[in-house]
Amino acid sequence: MSRFNLTSNQKKIFKNVYWAVLGKIINILSGLFVGILVARYLGPKDYGLMNYVISYVTLFSILANFGMDNIEIRELSKQKVVKEVILGTAFRLRLFFSIITILLISVTLFFFESDPFTVLMVLIYSSSLILSTLNVIRNYFTSIVLNEYVVKTEITRTLTGAVIKIVLLYYHFSLGWFIAASAFDFLFMASGYLFSYKIKVGSVLDWKYDREIAKHLIRESFPLLLSGTAIIIYQKIDQVMIRNMIDNDAVGQFAVASNITELAIFIPMVIAQTVTPLLVKAHQENLELYKKKRQQFIDMMIWISIGMSIIMFVAANPAIKVLFGVKYLDAIPVLQIMAWKTVSVALFVSSGQIIIIENIQKFAVLRNIFGCFISIILNLVLIPKYGIIGSAVATIFTMSFTGYFSHIFIRPYKFLFQMQSNSLVFGLMRVVRHKL
């Protein structure tokens, strides 16, 4: 019977991985093509400012969703509460926190940003936070392992956004229009989620708010909010610090390398999003099976990411020269360093999913606070001496510490360090032999 169930689960995994990978490939190819055109058209300075605006808003984005993404998926996967109640409660909470976040962004701009154009661009892009409240629908489809509907929405958003940006390029529009178009992408995404939910499930008007569920979501998400805030800071603070310590041109060079790296980590991220609901189910029904699948999950994440990092390291030089041109040659050594971010992200994401499944997330804030301080300190020390290369080194060191080495110092997470070390030493052998 277990063999039959395993086969059924494998089919479900492969079907959803297929849809997820298909969507990511289309999104990546479209994003890479349009991104190259936009980077070449704007040049390092304006492209740097555009990425600074996005990074600035992203720093506050975790407050807008209150770190509820994974908690929503977990609660919806359990199916112990009517989905309309969870969705309705989560949506109202997200809407409330999004409004608070935009107000907070406005206050920080008043004190820390003197350029009126930059202020306007940040406020325009911050509208994406309101539209992102409907990500609760994406989380619902993820929880029931139906990536097809999410993927179709993402593909539509990506292709529509690509066409808009190409039109802006053709008619030589200025930087502000490209930032507005990036914010407009979220409107297409929200509309697509609403349409998919209407077709597959029903009306969002059936959603209900429950005060006790709200308290539960906030209580469960709060440790992840603190943790997520630290994560966002050490993932995005680099571009903000580079802009303030060097200039927009340096941000543009760093952003090219960073954005290419972000494209490369899609496979580990897809695996994590797809397998998590099945791990939740195994954890509830069969702990021995769960432990085996848990190790299998980490093995896949780590060794697929190592392969991706090697490819990216080797291809960095010709990729920058051919795709982005001579204006972005300074991005080559940065990309060669950032290529290894894929491995550190895989370590971080795989352990993070297990932490949530086993409901030990209250300790997660420790590793991420460590990472936050390490990132800021290393950037302060390395950027003045080594520029954007120093910031790249800071990124890799920080991610490796938070996703792996920090588990040594947090007693409830020591088993994660042991599992990850086991995967690094023996995982490839198990993956190749399929004896998991």
**Termini Cα distance of the chain:** 18
On average, the pLDDT of the chain sits at: 87
**Residue, of 309 and 20, whose pLDDT is higher:** 309
**Model confidence, pTM:** 0.80
Amino acid at 360: I
Q: Which two tokens stand for residue 265?
A: 């980590």
Tokens 């580990």 belong to residue: 268
Residues 6 or more apart from 247 whose CB is under 8 A from it? 45, 48
Q: Label residue 115 left, alpha or beta by phi (over 0 means left) and psi (-120 to 50 means alpha).
A: beta
Task: Tell me the C-alpha distance between 102 and 122, whole Å.
Answer: 10
Residues 258-274 have pLDDT tens digits of: 888 887 787 787 778 77
Let me know if 327 is exposed, middle or buried by CB neighbors in 10 A (0-12, 13-18, 19+). Answer: middle
Closest CA to 300 of 3, 51, 10, 1: 10
Task: Tell me the C-alpha distance between 127 and 130, whole Å.
Answer: 6
DSSP H helical ranges for 126-265: 128-131, 135-143, 147-170, 175-200, 211-245, 248-264
Greatest mean pLDDT range, 3-7, 53-57, 356-360: 53-57
Task: Tell me the C-alpha distance between 323 and 224, whole Å.
Answer: 38
Residue 282: C-alpha distances to residues 69, 233, 292, 435 (Å): 20, 33, 10, 19
Q: Are 178 and 164 in contact (CB under 8 A)?
A: no
Phi, psi of 9, deg, nearest 5: -65, -40
Q: Which two tokens stand for residue 131?
A: 């539209």
Task: Tell me the C-alpha distance between 41 and 174, whole Å.
Answer: 10
Residues 180-194 have pLDDT tens digits of: 999 998 998 899 899
Residues 6 or more apart from 129 whose CB is under 8 A from it? 57, 60, 61, 64, 98, 101, 102
Residues 102-147 have pLDDT tens digits of: 999 999 998 888 899 999 999 999 999 999 999 999 888 888 777 7
Closest CA to 145 of 269, 25, 311, 14: 14
The pLDDT of 381-409, averaged and rounded, is 93
